[in-house]
Amino acid sequence: MTRSFDDLVDEADAVSVDGWDFSWLEGRATEERPSWGYQRTMSARLAEASAALDVQTGGGEVLAGAAKLPRLMVATESWPPNVAKATQLLHPRGAVVVADADEPPLPFADDAFDLVTSRHPVTVWWSEIARVLRPGGRYFSQQVGPASVFELVEYFLGPQPEQVRRARHPEDARREAEAAGLEVVDLRAESLRTEFFDVGAVVYFLRKVIWMVPGFTVEQYRDRLRELDALIRERGSFVAQTTRFLIEARKTG
């Protein structure tokens, strides 16, 4: 039986969006994964590290998936529900979770880590990354690229200025890393297909990824959501392009 618009939207509006686990979307949305396999390659680097820091760890789900953690493993997170979830996941693995405001300075001494990782950081404080890395240490990160899922963003907000569409460009990341004294040893970018198969999946996504449509609520956008529901039923899905880039940088000093 086909579910109604109200049923789909009300369900998605009520479900918890704590943590960084998107399993609720299984069967309701799909996203291509970058070819480099971030979690796999991150796990290999962690296995060789002696002291590592995972910045903006979310609910700790990605880090917890690593096969082996270094002897000293620290993760930071700012959002209290995620701090609690990450603590539950990572403490049994011997990792310490630090509640941090995601603003400089990082609460660690200079040269504290030989590896810093981060998946989809909101902001990268490059000078702080460089400061806490040991000479020869590396920063390894997968990041959201420019105009990611902007088909969905612009559906709700309308056309965005070029400077907004270009934000988070990988070449800007290279320039900022180098300005902080890091040598970029790898930089790759890909555009990936994302599909939403029902309007509830869109509601869940926008509630969870809060910077896509700032201040998003079902109440505010209910009419636009109803139109989107009709479009998805007609076409079978709503398609957007996700952009991702991988950056690895080494501290040379």
Instruction: Write out pLDDT tens, residues 67-94.
Output: 999 999 999 999 898 999 999 999 999 9
Task: Please give the pLDDT value at position 253.
Answer: 75
Please tell me the pTM assigned to this model.
0.89
Instruction: Write out pLDDT tens, residues 153-177.
Output: 999 999 999 999 999 999 999 999 9
**Total tally of structural domains belonging to the chain:** 1
Task: Please give the pLDDT value at position 13.
Answer: 98
Q: How far apart, in Å, are the Cα atoms of 144 and each of 112, 116, 166, 236? A: 27, 17, 12, 26
Query: Cis ω on the peptide bond leading into residue 34 (within 30° of 0)?
Result: no
Task: Please give the pLDDT value at position 21.
Answer: 83
Instruction: Write out pLDDT tens, residues 130-153.
Output: 999 999 999 999 999 999 999 999
Q: How far apart, in Å, are the Cα atoms of 46 and each of 94, 113, 128, 214? A: 14, 11, 20, 34
Distance, CA of 108 to CA of 165 (rounded, Å): 34
Task: Please give the pLDDT value at position 5.
Answer: 98
Task: Please give the pLDDT value at position 18.
Answer: 82
Task: Please give the pLDDT value at position 39.
Answer: 95
Range of the domain at 206: 5-251
Greatest CA span in the chain, whole angstroms?
A: 63
Instruction: Write out pLDDT tens, residues 30-69.
Output: 999 999 999 999 999 999 999 999 999 999 999 999 999 9
What is the three-state SS of the chain?
CCCCHHHHHHHHHHCCCCCCCCHHHCCCEEECCCCCCHHHHHHHHHHHCCEEEECCCCCCHHHHCCCCCCCEEEEEECCHHHHHHHHHHHHHHCCEEEECCCCCCCCCCCCCEEEEEEECCCCCCHHHHHHHEEEEEEEEEEEECCCCCHHHHHHHHCCCCHHHHHCCCHHHHHHHHHHCCEEEEEEEEEEEEEEECCHHHHHHHHHHCCCCCCCCCHHHHHHHHHHHHHHHHHHCCEEEEEEEEEEEEEECC
Flag whether pLDDT at 19 surpasses 80: no
Q: Specify whether the CB–CB gap between 229 and 8 falls below 8 A.
A: yes
Instruction: Write out pLDDT tens, residues 181-198.
Output: 999 999 999 999 999 999
Distance, CA of 142 to CA of 244 (rounded, Å): 7
Task: Please give the pLDDT value at position 20.
Answer: 76
**Residue 220 maps to which CATH number?**
3.40.50.150
Distance, CA of 242 to CA of 206 (rounded, Å): 14
Residue found under tokens 């030989």? 114
Sheet strands side by side (includes 72-77):
29-31, 182-196, 238-251, 133-144, 113-119, 51-54, 72-77, 96-99
Task: Please give the pLDDT value at position 117.
Answer: 98
Percent of the chain at pLDDT > 90 equals 95
